[in-house]
C-alpha cells in the first residue's frame, strides 16, 4: 500500500462539489486515512507550492489556493500516486479524459478543482504539511 495527498481546491469547495468528488475517490478504491477542511494563508500556500516558485503562474496559484476553504485528504491504495493522477486527469480540464475529476469539475488549467501528489516522496512531504502521523493510523 502507498499514500498520496489530494486537495479539493477552493473552486470545487465553493461550488459544493466536495461530496461528489469524495464519492469518485472512494469508488476508485482509495481509502481515506485523514480529511480536514481549512483555509490556508498566502504564505502557507507559497510553502506548499515552493517547488513552483520560479514558474510564471506561482503568484496566481498562491492567491487561488489561499482564496477559500480547501479539503486536504490523505489517501491510501496500492500504487496510490499514479492511480490518483489517473482519477484526477490532466492539469488542464480541457485535455483531461472524460470521467476524470478535472474534466467533471475543473474550470481552467489554473482553476482545476483538485490536487494530487506527483511522487511518493512528495506525497509524504505533502501529507505531513496537513496531518500529524498519529492522526492517520
Smaller CB distance to ligand CDP: residue 30 or 48? 48
Q: Is 113 left (phi over 0), alpha (psi -120 to 50) or beta?
A: left
Measured between alpha carbons, how far is residue 76 from residues 21, 26, 93, 134 in Å? 16, 10, 24, 15
For ligand CDP, the binding residues in 64-123 under the rule CB under 6 A are: 91, 109-110, 112, 115, 118
Q: Check if the beta carbon of residue 69 is closer than 8 Å to that of residue 38.
A: yes
CB of 118 to Mg ion, least distance (A): 5
CB of 137 to Mg ion, least distance (A): 27
Total residues at the site for ligand CDP (CB under 6 A)? 9
- Contact between 82 and Mg ion by CB under 5 A: the answer reads no
- Identify the H or E element spanning 77: strand 71-77
The alpha-helical segments, DSSP class H, found in 89-137 are 101-105, 120-130
- The whole-angstrom separation of Cα 70 and Cα 66 is 8
- Contact between 47 and ligand CDP by CB under 6 A: the answer reads no
- Contact between 24 and ligand CDP by CB under 6 A: the answer reads no
Smaller CB distance to ligand CDP: residue 114 or 135? 114
- Contact between 57 and ligand CDP by CB under 6 A: the answer reads yes
Site residues, Mg ion (CB under 5 A): 118
Amino acid at each position: 500500500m502507498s499514500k498520496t495527498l489530494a486537495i479539493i481546491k477552493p473552486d470545487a469547495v465553493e461550488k459544493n462539489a466536495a461530496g461528489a468528488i469524495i464519492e469518485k475517490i472512494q469508488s476508485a478504491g482509495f481509502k481515506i486515512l485523514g480529511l480536514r477542511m481549512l483555509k490556508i494563508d498566502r504564505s502557507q500556500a507559497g510553502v506548499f507550492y515552493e517547488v513552483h516558485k520560479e514558474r510564471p503562474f506561482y503568484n496566481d496559484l498562491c492567491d487561488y489556493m489561499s482564496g477559500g476553504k480547501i479539503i486536504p485528504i490523505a489517501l491510501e491504495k496500492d500504487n496510490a500516486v499514479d492511480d490518483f493522477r489517473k482519477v484526477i486527469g490532466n492539469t488542464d480540464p480541457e485535455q483531461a479524459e472524460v470521467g476524470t475529476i478535472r474534466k467533471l469539475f475543473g474550470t481552467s488549467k489554473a482553476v482545476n478543482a483538485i490536487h494530487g501528489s506527483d511522487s511518493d516522496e512528495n506525497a509524504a512531504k505533502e501529507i505531513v504539511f496537513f496531518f500529524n502521523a498519529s492522526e492517520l493510523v
